[in-house]
A and B are shown apart, each in its own frame.
Chain A
Amino acid sequence: MRGLFAAVMLMGIFSFLGASWMLLLDAPDVAFTEASVGAGISTILALATLALTTRKAKVPVRRPALPLLIVAVTGAALVYGTLDMPHFGDPEAPASNYPHPSYVERTEHDIHVPNVVTAVLASYRGYDTLGETVVIFTAGIAVLALLRGSRKRQPTGGGGEDAG
């Protein structure tokens, strides 16, 4: 498929299906993120990129035999890996045991917040979320530096140097 517009649309649809799937698995917080970031903003940014570049992919000069082999082998390895995973909804699965169930039990007493996901994200794992916020901050600054650096700075009137 050489039409990049269709590729972006398919990516958005895939992302939205992923969000629906997360919702079916009772993970509304994740579904929410996937729908807004994956299906929403990412699609918009990809479309903006298309508007800046081109809507047709270039015809590859080499034959894709080796990449196809690598993709097939990696895919087979991943599928093989899933064979070892616990069954869906298994109460003995590490995912059900390792983040100790006491988080769910203690949240009510410690934090009085019904949404355990928020409690874990913002309080029990506050350091991690601070790190995530810094990652987003860094990514934003990097994109601004990259995209703005290549263009000549145009003089804008009035923009005072009010912050470092």
Chain B
Amino acid sequence: MTDHTILRVVSKLLLPYVLLFALYVQFHGDYGPGGGFQAGVIFAAGFVLYGLIFGLTAVRRVAPARMVELVIATGVLVYAGTGVVAMLMGGNFLDYDALNPAHPSTGQHYGILVVELGVGMTVAAVMIAIYSTFAGRGRA
């Protein structure tokens, strides 16, 4: 689709806003609708759009397969790691109150934010990985 000028220009204009919206959904999830799952998918949708218009090689240049696989695992580790940190600070596994014993609700805020980040990382990376494996199969 390299010769579709309108598609190229419009998608380039849209892309930053797609990614920005994903970040908004990610980090504003405790106040508005949304959270890690939705944000991850929207973030990945930006990459899919990029891949549809500019080709898979361009996506692989931005997000190399190796890095995407790393992010898949890192997201789960971030989530589980938050639980372990809470344990080290004297609470139960995934008990965010322990993250800030003086102000438990602040600890909850931190915990939810970090945990949602982990979810978002895994979801986005899995979606990008699945898409690029699917799209890369036809031409291998």
How far is B138's CA from A132's CA once the two chains are assembled, in angstroms? 31
| Contact partner, B130, options A45, A118, A119, Cβ 8 Å | A45
Q: State the interface size on chain B (CB cutoff 8 A).
A: 54
CB atoms of B105 and A112 under 8 A apart: yes
CB atoms of A52 and B75 under 8 A apart: no
Q: State the interface size on chain A (CB cutoff 8 A).
A: 49
How far is B60's CA from A154's CA once the two chains are assembled, in angstroms? 15
How far is B70's CA from A163's CA once the two chains are assembled, in angstroms? 8
CB atoms of A48 and B135 under 8 A apart: yes
Mostly, the A contact residues are helix
CB atoms of B119 and A29 under 8 A apart: no
Task: List the one stretch of A64-72, A97-105, A134-142 in contact with chain B.
Answer: A134-142
Tell whether A77 is near chain B: CB-to-CB under 8 Å.
Answer: no
How far is B44's CA from A123's CA once the two chains are assembled, in angstroms? 25
Q: A41-B41, A119-B30, A129-B115 are in contact. Are A52 and B76 (CB under 8 A)?
A: no
CB-defined contacts of B54 to chain A, threshold 8 Å? none
> Which residue of chain B has its CB nearest to the CB of A151?
B140
> Which residue of chain A has its CB nearest to the CB of B119?
A133
Interface residues of A in 120-163 (CB under 8 A from B): 121-123, 126-127, 129-130, 132-134, 136-137, 139-141, 143-144, 147-148, 151, 154, 159, 162-163
Contact with A along B47-82 (1 / 0, CB 8 A): 010000000000000001010011011011001100
Q: A33-B37, A133-B122, A140-B126 are in contact. Are A123 and B112 (CB under 8 A)?
A: yes
CB-defined contacts of A163 to chain B, threshold 8 Å? 70, 73
Tell whether A32 is near chain B: CB-to-CB under 8 Å.
Answer: yes
Q: A130-B94, A148-B133, A159-B66 are in contact. Are A117 and B115 (CB under 8 A)?
A: no
User: Which residues of B approach A to under 8 Å, CB–CB?
Assistant: 25, 29-35, 37-38, 41-42, 44-45, 48, 64, 66, 69-70, 72-73, 75-76, 79-80, 83, 93-94, 96, 104-106, 108-109, 111-112, 115-116, 118-119, 122-123, 125-127, 129-131, 133-135, 137-138, 140
User: Which residues of A approach B to under 8 Å, CB–CB?
Assistant: 28-29, 31-33, 36-37, 40-41, 44-45, 48-49, 51-52, 109-115, 117-119, 121-123, 126-127, 129-130, 132-134, 136-137, 139-141, 143-144, 147-148, 151, 154, 159, 162-163
